[in-house]
Amino acid sequence: MKAGYAEMSHASIKSLSLSKKRKIRENPTQNVDAGSSAKRLRNATHSQSERTNISGIEDTRRCGKIISIHLTNFMCHSNLRIEFNRRVNFLVGRNGSGKSAILAALVLGLGCNAKVTNRSKSAKDFIKIGETTAKIEITIANDGPQPFDPDEYGDSITIVRTITTSSGYYAVRNSQGRIITKKFDDLQRILLYHNIQADNPVFVLNQDSAREFLKELEPSKNYQLFLKATQIDLITEKLDECLHLHKAHREELANTEKLSLSYSRTLMLYPKKCKYGLKLQYMEKDIAVHKGKLKELIAFDHLGLEEIHKKVDKYEGEVNELNKLINNKDEVNSILTQKIAESFENIKVKNNEYSDVNQSLRKIRCQIDEMIRKRSEIEMKIESLKKRKSRLEKHINDLKQHIEERSKSNQDDVDALRRQNEESLANYRKQCETSLMPLIENLKQELNMLMENKSQKDYN
């Protein structure tokens, strides 16, 4: 890196939009009750009122802004602490003095892996030679409007990443230095709340990425950078996941509807079985009647007793079969009724999930349409700039041609004037030789005579 080259670390990071912050606050995993929400609202209002100090100058300290960084045994730095300025900070130094190491420490300390820095694939390679551990401590402000859980963290949050030769871990401290959590998910939630995207080239543009961007300027790579900077690639991935979930839910809903239809068809058969039950009741009445008649026949006629017994046995067998059908019917009816109720509940749940996914899909499509509109506007601006460039290039070529023509004509005039001056100079020389030379000779003779006269007078 040249001595005049400066790497800039902007210490102020924009806050997340209110809609995202509300969604994160409404997440049940944060366990924020109504009392703490009221306190947070009062703290946010109070801090917003204090953004303008006594002199009327706006206070630039706000949530998510990097206050300081402390490096221990990180690359070439044994013990370096930087307190950042309130606004813009420039890091200037000689080659190998560790300017890029500070940017790499910011990227690693804010939850990114080593590949994002374009320096190494493993975090242990950033440990200073001869040491076994390295530590990165980054303190961000939490005392502006919309702070993250101010009752727990206070007016600042310190993110500590410890790197060892075998592993590494994170720790998040509050303003009093007490460790609140060591979970990476909690760290990601804090960074998302403050809209800190260390892997986004718009937030942190390292030396290699800047050199590659300025050197190649390929439209495809610039477009990929645009997608990554605007998070359209992340939105596309989420949209693909939503589409896959949508298809899976549609298939599951279709299968559930098929099961519901089969259960409905099975349920439609039960009225017929109920008819059999009614028929059984009528047959029981007939059996009772036949039993009365049988008694009468036994009393009056013993000859047809065997035939009557056979009919009675036959009717009793039919009665037993119908009783079995009725008993099975009740069990099957209860089971199918339960399954149908469960199927309807599943259909309701799937419909709710489908409506939520469809709503999120509409939001994502609206965002994509907005991005496409912005992209078309940018392309139109680029096209107009290209046309303007071509017009300027044509105008420059015309000016160059005009200058060349004028220079040729001026050269001819200069040569003619030079010849005229040489001719006049030759004439002046001839005039001098013809008119002045005799006069000079006469003067020399007179001078000699005077000198001789003077010498004679001096001798006398």
Q: Look at the chain and report how many structural domains it folds into.
A: 2
- Over the stretch 281-301, which tens digit does the pLDDT of each residue have? 777 777 777 777 767 666 655
Q: What distance in Å separates the CA atoms of residue 254 and residue 343, rounded to the nearest whole number?
A: 12
Residues 6 or more apart in contact with residue 224 via CB below 8 angstroms: 233
Q: Nearest 5°: phi and psi at 58? A: -70, 135
> Does 313 have pLDDT greater than 70?
yes
The answer to whether residues 146 and 250 belong to one domain is: no
Which residues span the domain enclosing 132?
Answer: 65-199
DSSP annotation string for 256-320: HHHHHHHHHHHHHTHHHHHHHHHHHHHHHHHHHHHHHHHHHHHHH-STTHHHHHHHHHHHHHHHH
Domain-located, residue 351:
no
DSSP annotation of 127 reads: B
Residues 6 or more apart in contact with residue 198 via CB below 8 angstroms: 106, 107, 110, 111, 112, 116, 191, 204
Domain-located, residue 262:
yes
* Domain boundary residue, one of 282, 297, 312: 297
Please report the pLDDT score of residue 60 as a whole number.
55
- Over the stretch 170-223, which tens digit does the pLDDT of each residue have? 999 999 999 999 999 999 899 888 888 888 777 777 777 777 667 766 777 777
pTM, two decimals, is 0.44
Residue that wins the pLDDT comparison between 107 and 283: 107
> Does 42 have pLDDT greater than 60?
no
Q: Which residues pair with residue 134 across a beta bridge?
A: 163
Question: Among 3-17, 83-97, 141-155, 235-249, which is the least confidently predicted range?
Answer: 3-17
* Domain boundary residue, one of 272, 297, 322: 297
Q: Which residues pair with residue 157 across a beta bridge?
A: 140
- Over the stretch 221-268, which tens digit does the pLDDT of each residue have? 777 777 777 778 778 888 888 888 888 888 888 888 888 888 777 777
Domain-located, residue 412:
no
Q: What mean pLDDT do residues 87-102 have? A: 87
> Does 8 have pLDDT greater than 70?
no
Q: What mean pLDDT do residues 324-334 have? A: 71
Banded pLDDT at 272 (limits 50, 70, 90): low
Q: What mean pLDDT do residues 159-174 have? A: 91
Share of residues in the chain with pLDDT > 70 (%) = 78
Q: How many CB atoms lie within 10 A of CB 71?
A: 26
DSSP annotation string for 17-31: PHHHHHHHHT-GGG-
Question: What tokens does 13 get?
Answer: 């990071």
Q: What distance in Å separates the CA atoms of residue 196 and residue 15, rounded to the nearest whole number?
A: 8
Domain-located, residue 259:
yes
The answer to whether residues 96 and 191 belong to one domain is: yes
For 244-248, the CB contacts below 8 A with 24+ separation are: 245/357, 246/354, 246/357, 246/358, 246/361
* Domain boundary residue, one of 262, 280, 297: 297
Residue that wins the pLDDT comparison between 456 and 148: 148
The three-class DSSP label of residue 211 is helix
Please report the pLDDT score of residue 15 as a whole number.
33
